[in-house]
Amino acid sequence: MIAPQPVPPGPPGLPVIGSALAYRKDPFGFLERIARTYGEVVYSRFAGQHFYMITRPEHVEQVLVGRRERYGKDRFIRTLAVVIGQGLLVSEGALWRQQRRRMAPAFAHRHVGGYARTISGCAGEHAAAWSAGVIDVGAAMMRMTLDIALRALFGGGDPRAGASDDDALRVGRAFTTVSEFFADAVGKPVPLPLWVPTARHRGLRRAIAELDVVVARVIGQRRAAPPVPGDSPLDLLGMLLAARDDDGAAMDDRQLRDEVLTLLLAGHETTALTLTYALALIARDPEVQARLAAEVAQLGGAAPTLEDLPRLAYCEQVALETMRLYPAAATLGREVLEPDEIGGYPVPRGATVVLSPWVIHRDPRHYAEPLRFWPGRWTAEFRRQLPRFAYFPFGGGQRVCIGEAFAMLEVRLALAAIVSRWQIAAVDDAPLAVVQAITVRPKDPVRLRLSPREAPHG
């Protein structure tokens, strides 16, 4: 007789649907609660699906690096294909390797540095156009980062390639619809097939159509632009348009659409969210904001440049701490392709392993006062002693976010541009409330009060 395989401890759940309703009611509280209650490997069921949440950094490294060949993208990520097709976030195997190889040069250090002037100039333009008073900072950051993406990644730095009012309206409205759709789908015990003509499904199709209009314009505009002198174009879309397969074939229009839309979603929205949370956090912490403003003031009012980054160390610490508390993705999922063992427990093929930056980033074993916003913790010594994968806002391993360096550059330069012009204050004492969708989004608009800083600006 074969002995039964040990199963990790976990919440008992309800018949048939398991823990789906408990998770749906409070995703973040559910994740934190089961981690505290059941330990480093937690088993739960969601409507017939088997989930193993891991909270030990060494186990995360095992899944993302050490035994990565045993794991693939999970069902939730594959569901995103209805919106972004087979872009880099969703694609697997040979297609993913080909597209990653094509896109990697655009994010190499020599090119990311070249984007700094566009990022800094664009952020400065947006910050200068604001008026004193209360602002919906989330909407402002979405508009700013969309403009940066369209100019830097898809427009060769040309200001004319930036976001029009119509683009911003279309993209903002569409991303909100898409996020609400997936927020509603999270933890749903029995999701309806997309072909069922519900109001939410019709709204999703309209949102995809809106995004397609913007993407088609971006690709058409870049194709019509004159060639960039030199051996290769200086922006991502230019590189994708110039790329050729071994047989000389160019990338087809559908794949171009998928990659552009993936970068708009994964690049523009996540950075906008990081900036939104960073500004909300410093608005509630005058000491942090004063130190940040003093550091930026060293630039003498000039727009921050790539060369200024070594002088913006605290700005980087603010970015790192913001992503610790509010990572763009609360969880990463990996489907088990080959049976494995994690923490002494067998993990069967077809199960989903859940890695949660939200939980691990708030673990008191790694972070003193884990719920405190404390940028100063990110000293060189602290970083050296922090276990690998105790911090992974960009994922890790072979499929680490390709735009990590670009995003970190953008957050630092944009924060510096904003803080150099504006003093930021909260309008109330309400804590930040977030919802789990494709990304970790604010539950309500984030409104902050802007007051001009007295120092002159260049």
SS3 state at 116? helix
In this prediction the pTM is 0.92
| Structural domain boundaries in the chain | 20-452
Beta bridge partners of 71: 336
State the Cα–Cα distance between residues 217 and 171, nearest whole angstrom: 13
pLDDT at 189: 58
The secondary element (H helix, E strand) that includes residue 145 is helix 137-148
Structural Rg of the chain based on CA atoms: 22
**Are the C-beta atoms of 197 and 204 separated by less than 8 Å?**
no
Tell me whether residue 311 is exposed, middle or buried, using C-beta atoms within 10 angstroms of its C-beta: 0 to 12, 13 to 18, 19 or more.
Answer: middle
Looking up tokens 């088993």 gives 43
Provide the token pair at 249. Answer: 């074939």
Residues of the chain with pLDDT under 50: 1-3, 230-232, 456-458
Query: In which residue are the tokens 């977030």 written?
Result: 434
The rounded Cα 23 to chain-centroid distance in angstroms is 21
Residue 21: its pLDDT value, please?
87
- What fold, for 20-452? Cytochrome p450 (1.10.630)
Distance (Å, whole) CA 404 – CA 391: 13
Among 205, 211, 206, residue whose Cα is nearest residue 261 = 211
Amino acid in the structure at residue 93: G
Nearest to 26 by CA among 330, 367, 352: 330
Rounded CA-CA distance 88/318 in Å is 29
For CA atoms 219, 224, 230, 234, the dihedral sign is negative
- Residue-wise pLDDT for 391-411, tens only, equals 999 999 988 888 899 999 999
Give the pLDDT of residue 227.
55
pLDDT attached to residue 455:
57
Show contacts of 424-428: CB within 8 Å, 24+ apart. Answer: 424/279, 424/282, 424/283, 424/289, 424/448, 424/449, 424/450, 425/283, 425/449, 425/451, 426/280, 426/283, 426/284, 427/134
- Alpha helices by DSSP H, listed for 133-269, are 137-148, 165-185, 199-224, 236-242, 253-263
Distances (CA, A) of 270 to 324, 326, 408: 14, 11, 11
